[in-house]
Amino acid sequence: MGKVFKTSVKKTRRIISQLNFEKGLIPVVARNFDGEVLMIAFMNKNALLKTLSTGLMHYYSRRMKKIWMKGGVSGFVQKVLEVRVNCENNSLLFTVKQEGPGACHMGYKTCFYRKILNSGRFKKVEKKVFNPKRVYRK
Amino acid sequence: MGKVFKTSVKKTRRIISQLNFEKGLIPVVARNFDGEVLMIAFMNKNALLKTLSTGLMHYYSRRMKKIWMKGGVSGFVQKVLEVRVNCENNSLLFTVKQEGPGACHMGYKTCFYRKILNSGRFKKVEKKVFNPKRVYRK
């Protein structure tokens, strides 16, 4: 499974200087170490800085306009194992170790728990792995 | 491997009406049927319409401000096998059959052919599978 990937703030600034952020954001994919694609989200420079200095995934929420640590409430953090950069330096692929039963705030392992059918309907094709009402109750 | 996923324009409009586009765009991941993450890109409504009506991946280029069909020049098209939607209806995961040796215009199977090292350096970790100068020469 490999160990957690981290680097210094200085090195992260070097990484950031090579990346192309679009209006301050870069799209990222989190793929679990078992190969499952968990989610697509965005990072700003600070979220990337926090991610790479802690080894834990931090995202930028466009809706809330702030950085949030994945698992901050649920405890289901994502540990960074590897980071890949695309040909145009404008997207990142993180391989992570998803802690706990799943990544999705709806109670699934992956946020992509619904398949689009020919009919245009969205159909659940994954099993619920935790009760979000319990996990996100404060 | 499964057959190509397609649907009608009418059904695609139904799909589109359920999705949350952000300034007209939705981020998408293309994952090859063998599990490899090939690329992250964006679609606008028309690109999604073209993708789902033809069964071939079409993206929206923010730089060129236009829709392009993946493989339009190289012939290395991506056939749609499955589409998944995330919990917030604001990103899509496509499972595709990548035709030809690879997806990346730099000559690699995946656009994520470089790993970020602790040093901050980007290191190629995949082998070149075609010569882009030949493939993209017109």
A112, A102 contact by CB (below 8 A): no
Report the SS3 class of residue B50: helix
Q: Do B104 and A112 touch (CB under 8 A)?
A: no
Give the model's pLDDT for residue B138.
57
Contacts of A120 in chain B (CB under 8 A): 7, 11-12, 14-15, 18
pTM: 0.96
Q: What domains sit in chain B, N to C, each tagged with a CATH number?
A: 9-101 (3.10.20.810)
Measured between CB atoms, does A64 come within 8 Å of chain B?
no
Q: Suggest the residue from B82, B93, B106, B108 to mutate for an interface test with chain A (most A CBs closer than 10 A).
A: B93
Q: Give the pLDDT band (50/70/90) at residue A37.
A: very high
Whether residues A22 and B62 touch (CB distance < 8 A) is answered with yes
Mean pLDDT value of segment B90-100? 98
Q: Choose among B80, B105, B77: nearest CA to B95.
A: B80
β A26-32/A92-98 pair status: parallel
pLDDT, mean of residues A47-70: 96
pLDDT tens readout for residues B58-80: 999 999 999 999 999 999 999 99
Give the Cβ contact number of residue A9 at 10 Å. Answer: 11
Phi/psi at A116 (nearest 5 deg)? Answer: -90, 125
Q: What share of chain B is helix, strand, coil (3-state, %, to 5)?
A: 15, 35, 50
What is the structure's pLDDT at B136?
A: 86
Q: Within an 8 Å CB–CB cutoff, is residue B11 touching chain A?
A: yes
Q: ipTM greater than 0.90, yes or no?
A: yes
Of A11, A35, A84, the CB nearest to B120: A11
Strand B37-43 and strand B26-32: the pairing is antiparallel
B118 in A contact zone (CB under 8 Å): yes
Chain B residues in contact with A111 (beta carbon < 8 A):
86-88, 91
Q: Virtual CA dihedral for A108, B83, A86, A83, nearest 10 degrees?
A: 20
pLDDT at A103 over 90: yes
Write the residue in A6, A29, A35 that is nearest to B35 by C-beta. Answer: A35
- The answer for residues whose C-beta is within 8 angstroms of residue B128's C-beta and 6 or more apart is B107, B108
Confidence of residue A136 (pLDDT cuts 50, 70, 90): confident
- Do residue B84 and residue A39 have CB atoms under 8 angstroms apart? no
Q: What is the mean pLDDT of residues A42-58?
A: 97
Which chain B residue has its CA at the smallest distance from A39's CA?
A: B86
- Show the tokens assigned to A130: 């935790």
